């Protein structure tokens, strides 16, 4: 983890960070993944979404949120008049865990310095955590997503950078629990209002 942290910190642009991640051999998930899933969208956008880990479609395309969850994310974004060209999207874990199993705590810790560095290099005005894994990892809290969602938090990066962060429900959860979509819409509306207030 210490090596990953130094390695990530030595990247001074997103392109350098992507290259370092592509060459990083410290995470076993890389061996079974087809592609590095780095990010999608516009790093200048002002809002950055962080999910958990790529699934099958993301692994094949090398882009985050392009499968069923991604299609739902696109529809929710459209409802607040955003699309993926106007946001930036990444995951805590950049390689697909085999069979879409949950990443282990060790895998998450190994990958954490890379997403933290990515957040720092993008410097969004607002961060949105898609689901409990992203929220718990990056906000350092054991609280469950159903308690966290809908309330602004502050993400504090290793360098001391502070960014308003909104935890919300993961699109894959919403596909299984459509009754909770209205909660996610509320959270996205909060994000939209915050972006407007900050622009
Ligand atoms: N779920 C995630 O958390 N991330 C993706 O990129 C796709 C599905």
Rounded to whole angstroms, the Cα distance separating 109 from 104 reads 9
Atom of ligand 1 nearest to the CA of 170: 3
CA distances from 161 to 91, 121, 181 (A): 19, 11, 31
Verify whether ligand 1 is closer than 6 Å to residue 97 (CB atom). Answer: no
Tell me what the pLDDT averaged over the chain comes to: 97
160 and 120 in contact (C-beta within 8 Å)?
Answer: no
- DSSP state, residue 10: T
Name the domain count of the chain. 1
185 and 76 in contact (C-beta within 8 Å)?
Answer: yes
Rounded to whole angstroms, the Cα distance separating 165 from 70 reads 20
Burial of 198 (0-12, 13-18, 19+ CB in 10 A): exposed
Verify whether ligand 1 is closer than 6 Å to residue 94 (CB atom). Answer: no
Verify whether ligand 1 is closer than 6 Å to residue 137 (CB atom). Answer: no
pLDDT, average across residues 35-60: 98
pLDDT in tens, 75-101: 999 999 999 999 999 999 999 999 999
Tokens for 82?
A: 């955003």
pLDDT interval class at 182 (50, 70, 90): very high
The confidence score (pLDDT) of residue 19 equals 98
Verify whether ligand 1 is closer than 6 Å to residue 54 (CB atom). Answer: yes
pLDDT in tens, 126-171: 999 999 999 999 999 999 999 999 999 999 999 999 999 999 999 9
The confidence score (pLDDT) of residue 198 equals 95
What are the beta bridge partners of residue 91?
A: 51
Instruction: Using most ligand atoms within 8 A of CB, pick from 51, 87, 137 the residue to mutate for ligand 1.
Output: 51
Looking up residue 144, the CATH number of its domain turns out to be 3.40.470.10
pLDDT in tens, 107-125: 999 999 999 999 999 999 9
Please count the CA atoms within 13 angstroms of the CA of 116 that sit on its side-chain side: 26
Question: How high is the ipTM of this complex?
Answer: 0.93
Phi, psi of 128 (to 5 degrees): -125, 125
Domain carrying residue 128: 2-198
Which residues, including other chains, have CB under 8 Å from residue 7's CB and lie 6 or more apart? 20, 24, 113
Rounded to whole angstroms, the Cα distance separating 185 from 165 reads 16
Tokens for 121?
A: 């290099």
């Amino acid at each position: 983890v210490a090596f990953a942290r130094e390695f990530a910190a030595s990247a001074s642009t997103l392109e350098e960070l992507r290259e370092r991640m592509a060459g990083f051999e410290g995470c076993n998930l890389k061996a079974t993944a087809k592609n590095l899933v780095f990010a999608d969208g516009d790093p200048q956008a002002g809002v950055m979404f962080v999910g958990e880990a790529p699934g099958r479609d993301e692994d094949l395309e090398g882009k985050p949120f392009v499968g069923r969850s991604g299609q739902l994310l696109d529809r929710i974004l459209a409802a607040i008049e955003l699309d993926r060209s106007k946001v930036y999207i990444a995951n805590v874990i950049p390689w697909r865990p085999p069979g879409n199993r949950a990443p282990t705590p060790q895998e998450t810790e190994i990958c954490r310095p890379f997403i933290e560095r990515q957040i720092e290099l993008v410097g969004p005005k607002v961060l949105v955590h898609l689901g409990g894994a992203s929220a718990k990892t990056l906000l350092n809290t054991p609280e469950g997503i159903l308690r966290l969602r809908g309330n602004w938090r502050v993400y504090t990066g290793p360098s001391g950078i502070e960014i308003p962060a909104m935890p919300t429900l993961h699109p894959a959860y919403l596909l299984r629990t459509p009754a909770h979509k209205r909660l996610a819409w509320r959270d996205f509306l909060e994000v939209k209002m915050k972006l407007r207030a900050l622009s």
